[in-house]
Every structure is written in C-alpha cells, then in structure tokens.
Structure 1
Amino acid sequence: MTDSTRREQLAETLGAEPATASELAAELDTPVSTIYQDLKHVARSVRYDEDTEFLVAPPECSSCGFSNYDDPVNYPSRCPECRSESIEEAVFKIE
C-alpha cells in the first residue's frame, strides 16, 4: 500500500506521461468528477513550483474542431459552436 495521497499519485502519473481524466480515473479507481477536482488542485499546486508546469491540451469537438473552451480543466457536455456532444477529452501533463 502506498503512503502518497491520491493527488500526489495523480501528479506523479502526469509527470510520467500525458493522460485524460478518464484514464486517470480508471488508473486510480476514482470517479471522473473527483479527478477533475483533483486536477484543479494539482494545477494550483504546480503553479508555485518554478521547475514544473501543468500543461493542458484542451478538449476538442470531434464535429467542428472547436477547442477554445473557457475552462480546459473541465469536461464540457456539448460544443458551444455546433452543439455536438462528441467532445474529445482534454489531455493533461506535468513537465
């Protein structure tokens, strides 16, 4: 059993390789909604470390390609441009 918290495990995973919230949820056996909350916290924590950076490839609409979402650390239910529900998840990474 590991002594690190879920958020520490999340940061460690993202430091090793990029991942979506769904991939992280499966790996950490945690609901996706909790992962998004944790990602926001990890992003704030990383901001104070000059040697690391929290990177986000924003969600993108599969139908029209829209990717200019207000909050990339969130999973939109629909595209604001074409109203499609076919949204590719954001990809997160810590470098």
Structure 2
Amino acid sequence: MEPTTRERIATVLRDEAATPSELSTRVGTARNAVYDHLRHVARSLSDTDEQLLVSPPTCRDCGFDAFDDPLNDPSNCPECRSESVAEPAVRID
C-alpha cells in the first residue's frame, strides 16, 4: 500500500528539517496544502514520544519572529511590513 501524503511528510521530517516549500517538492503536493498536513501530523504525534518542532517564520529585514502562529505563511512582517519573510522550518524529534 502506498504511504499517504502525511506519512511521507512525517518520514521526511524524521530525517531532517524542511520548509513547506521543500516538503511540497519532495512529496508532490501544493505548498499551501502542506501547512494543513503539518497541523494533522502534529495532532497525530500527540500520543507518541515524538513532537513536531517548528522554527517560526522570520523577517529577513528586521529579524521579527514572534508570529502568533509559528506554523503559518505570513505575507508580510507585522513589525516593518516587509514582504521578505522566510518560511518556517519544521522537523519531528
């Protein structure tokens, strides 16, 4: 049986940290769908010894990284309004 998209994402994240764009390319799904899959993966890990660790998005211009939801895709920085925001990095540990 073929592994599901979420299973493939979890397998990648157990090996290394990745951004949603990198996961999108590796598992063959849309980047915006990866965020939803990651939330489900995090819930599925709640009864295990593993957890989904998220390095939040960071503004490349001012360094702001205190986003309300670290697992999101902000269009701009709330501090300086720059659109140069790096994606979050995610891994399973």
TM-score, normalised via structure 1 length:
0.94
Once superposed, what is the RMSD of the aligned Cα atoms? Answer: 0.9
How many residues align? The count is 93
Q: Give unpaired runs (5+ residues) of structure 2.
A: none
> How much has 1:44 moved relative to structure 2?
1.1
TM score, norm. by length of structure 2: 0.96
Q: Which stretches in structure 1 are left out of the alignment for 5+ residues?
A: none
- Name the % identity: 47
> What is the match of residue 50 of structure 2?
52
Aligned with 1:86 (options 84, 87, 90): 84
The one-letter amino acid of 1:75's match is: D
Q: Would you identify which runs of 4 or more consecutive aligned residues in structure 1 move more than 3 Å?
A: none
The match for 2:17 is 18
Aligned to 1:64: 62
User: Given residue 63 of structure 1, which amino acid in structure 2 is its aligned partner?
Assistant: D
Asked if structure 2 preserves the Cα contact closer than 8 Å seen for 1:47 and 1:54, the reply is no
- 1:24-51 deviations in whole A, cap 9, x for unaligned? 00111111011111001101111221x1
